[in-house]
């Protein structure tokens, strides 16, 4: 009888398959990638495995449907030093797909319960799994916290939180006087997202590849609401409405299907949503908003989470071990009408407000455009900022906070730009989207005035 070579290679080692992969000579090592992070050395497989298990620190952001899959896959792939962040608590509606939670966990921290479950399941005499949970918002952790990790995997369902995280990892990548990025300051970000039967995985190498902000225009203003968001700590009126529709109605009327066209049914949802909103101090729940939200709920599909998580963790393993080419750099999974996937390179946006150093220019009519209109434009489709503050080289034009400074600068909002800035002057824009010292440099160009049908240059000011 022939010896089972796979069994002899395995021995008593849990990650025997990973060690065999790291020993395998390949024609497609990491250094052949379009974006290479390092050189693969199969002769140093044991050292690479030791790094993955003893030194490499992984951060997972989000412990919902996708986050549970990410945590499971990361630990099964050989990583043993993992941190996980999530600000939400477990709701009973999560239990059908967020498989690291049980009924006894309802009301508890997602991050803490997920960490405890995997730690207890995976720890052994041979392998110690060190999982540290953080029951906090992504924005609560400073840059030094994120700097300590070798790779970050994101399973967020919130666009603004993803923008913040993207801006943060870009700010960590230091650039020298010649414009070269210091490789030791790069923290790769593997971003995953799912929506029903669709999903995407993306590799972001800060300041090298395109960043999340480069593709922000592909995300229209959110009208749908992921299931895992509405069931936890609500943050918007729509979350309260969706919770009433998805969770409270079946609980109150288990034998009755909600009729979206019934005024009586919709009135019940509206009142239930109002009560939930009052509990959390959220304003803005209206009957008309209720009608809109109940028809736009995104079902969470466990299989989509599993597919996207597998892609993300595979890229993280390649980025840390150099055992294969990195994906370049965006993968789409579409399962609504069959199973279709597509990988392509998402190019950097030359005027990206986060990863591009190129100064932005904006032409305005200085007599018509007020500072408030400029802020509205910055919050529009071209820039999509949240709450911008504006300053010039001489003074603060408008500051969102603190309250005293906002009060002092608010009178400028109604003034035309001609009274506040000079033609060609550079303004500094800060926003919640930007992290640390990052800011948008915006040059204001006055449009030529039109008089008697003839274009007349705007007079230069001293």
Burial class (CB in 10 A: 0-12, 13-18, 19+), 43: exposed
111 token code pair:
């991050």
**333 membership: H or E segment, kind and range:** strand 330-334
Work out whether strand 198-204 and strand 440-446 pair parallel, antiparallel, or are unpaired: unpaired
For the chain, how many residues are written?
462
Residue 137 lies in a domain: yes
Q: Are residues 324 and 187 in the same domain?
A: yes
φ, ψ of residue 364 in degrees (nearest 5): -140, 155
**Cα separation values, 202 from 71, 79, 155, Å:** 17, 20, 11
- Write down which residue in 295, 318, 336 finishes a domain: 295
Q: How far apart are CA 352 and CA 191, in angstroms?
A: 18
Residue 354 lies in a domain: no
Residue 351 lies in a domain: no
In order, the DSSP letters of 192-229 are: EEEETTEEEEEEE-TTTS--GGGGGGGSPPP-SEEHHH
Domains in the chain: how many in total?
Answer: 3
Residue 448's domain comprises: 360-456
**60 membership: H or E segment, kind and range:** strand 57-61
Q: Are residues 399 and 329 in the same domain?
A: no
Per the CB < 8 A criterion, the answer to whether 217 and 191 are in contact is no
**65 membership: H or E segment, kind and range:** helix 65-76
pLDDT of residue 451: 47
DSSP conformation class of 434? S
3-state DSSP assignment of residue 154: strand
Q: Are residues 156 and 176 in the same domain?
A: yes
- Write down which residue in 344, 370, 405 finishes a domain: 344
Distance of CA 413 to the CA centre of its chain: 32
Residue 353 lies in a domain: no
328 token code pair:
């370049």
Q: What is the CATH number for 47?
A: 3.40.50.720
> What is the 3-class SS of 274-309, one letter each residue?
HHHHHHCCCCCCCHHHHHHHCCCEECCCHHHHHHHH
Residue 25 lies in a domain: yes
Q: Are residues 107 and 248 in the same domain?
A: no
pLDDT of residue 15: 79
pLDDT of residue 232: 66
pLDDT of residue 7: 41
DSSP conformation class of 86? -
Per the CB < 8 A criterion, the answer to whether 162 and 212 are in contact is yes
pLDDT of residue 459: 46
Radius of gyration of the chain (CA): 26
Whether this model's pTM surpasses 0.85: no
Sheet with 330-334, strands from edge to edge, namely: 130-134, 81-85, 57-61, 151-154, 189-195, 198-204, 330-334, 340-344
Residues recognised as catalytic: 228
Q: Are residues 32 and 137 in the same domain?
A: yes
Q: Are residues 285 and 334 in the same domain?
A: no
Beta bridge partners of 333: 199, 341
Beta bridge partners of 342: 332
Q: Are residues 36 and 143 in the same domain?
A: yes
Phi-psi region of 181 (alpha: psi -120 to 50; beta: other; left: phi over 0): beta
In order along the chain (462 residues), what is the average pLDDT of each group of 10 residues?
A: 43 74 92 90 93 96 95 95 94 87 94 95 79 94 94 91 92 86 94 93 95 86 61 81 90 89 90 92 88 75 95 97 94 89 91 82 92 90 86 90 90 93 91 81 80 47 40
Residue 350 lies in a domain: no
Q: How far apart are CA 115 and CA 121, in angstroms?
A: 10
Q: Are residues 322 and 187 in the same domain?
A: yes
Residue 355 lies in a domain: no
Burial class (CB in 10 A: 0-12, 13-18, 19+), 452: exposed
Q: What is the CATH number for 418?
A: 3.10.290.20
Q: Are residues 139 and 270 in the same domain?
A: no
Q: Are residues 245 and 369 in the same domain?
A: no
Q: What is the CATH number for 280?
A: 1.10.10.520
Work out whether strand 57-61 and strand 81-85 pair parallel, antiparallel, or are unpaired: parallel
Q: Are residues 410 and 323 in the same domain?
A: no
Q: Are residues 87 and 201 in the same domain?
A: yes
Beta bridge partners of 390: 398, 429
Residue 462 lies in a domain: no
């Amino acid at each position: 009888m022939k010896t089972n070579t796979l069994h002899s290679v395995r021995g008593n080692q849990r990650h025997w398959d990973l060690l065999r992969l790291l020993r395998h000579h390949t024609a497609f090592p990491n250094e052949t990638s379009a974006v290479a992070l390092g050189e693969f050395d199969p002769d140093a497989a044991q050292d690479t495995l030791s790094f993955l298990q003893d030194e490499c620190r992984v951060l997972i952001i989000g412990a919902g449907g996708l986050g549970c899959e990410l945590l499971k896959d990361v630990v099964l792939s050989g990583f043993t030093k993992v941190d996980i962040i999530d600000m939400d608590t477990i709701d009973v509606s999560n239990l059908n797909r967020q498989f690291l939670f049980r009924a006894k966990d309802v009301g508890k921290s997602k991050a803490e319960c997920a960490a405890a479950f995997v730690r207890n399941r995976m720890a052994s005499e041979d392998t110690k799994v060190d999982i540290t949970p953080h029951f906090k918002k992504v924005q609560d952790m400073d840059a030094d916290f994120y700097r300590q990790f070798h790779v970050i995997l994101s399973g967020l369902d919130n666009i603004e939180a993803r923008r913040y995280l993207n801006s943060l990892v870009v700010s960590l990548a230091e650039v020298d006087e010649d414009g070269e990025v210091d490789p030791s300051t790069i923290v790769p970000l593997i971003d995953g997202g799912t929506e029903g039967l669709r999903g995407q995985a993306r590799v972001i190498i800060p300041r090298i590849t395109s960043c999340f902000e480069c593709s922000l225009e592909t995300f229209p203003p959110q009208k749908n609401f992921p299931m895992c968001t509405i069931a936890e700590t609500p943050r918007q009126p729509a979350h309260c409405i969706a919770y009433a529709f998805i969770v409270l109605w079946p609980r109150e009327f288990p034998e009755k299907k909600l009729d979206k066209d019934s005024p009586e049914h919709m009135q019940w949802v509206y009142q239930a949503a109002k009560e939930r909103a009052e509990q959390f101090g959220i304003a803005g729940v209206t009957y008309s908003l209720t009608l809109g939200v109940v028809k736009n709920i995104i079902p969470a599909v466990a299989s989509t989470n599993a597919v996207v998580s597998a892609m993300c963790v595979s890229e993280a393993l390649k980025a840390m071990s150099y055992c294969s080419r990195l994906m370049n750099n965006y993968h789409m999974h579409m399962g609504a009408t069959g199973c279709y996937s597509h990988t392509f390179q998402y190019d950097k946006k030359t005027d990206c407000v986060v990863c591009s150093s190129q100064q932005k220019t904006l032409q305005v009519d200085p007599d018509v455009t007020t500072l408030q209109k400029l802020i509205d434009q910055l919050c529009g489709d071209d820039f999509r900022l949240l709450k911008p503050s504006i300053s010039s080289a001489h003074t603060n034009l408008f500051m969102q906070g603190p309250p005293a400074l906002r009060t002092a600068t608010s009178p400028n909002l109604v003034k035309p730009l001609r009274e506040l800035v000079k033609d060609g002057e550079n303004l500094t824009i800060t926003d919640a989207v930007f992290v640390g010292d990052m800011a948008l440099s915006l040059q204001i160009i006055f449009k030529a005035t039109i008089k008697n049908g003839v274009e007349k240059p705007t007079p230069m000011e001293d």
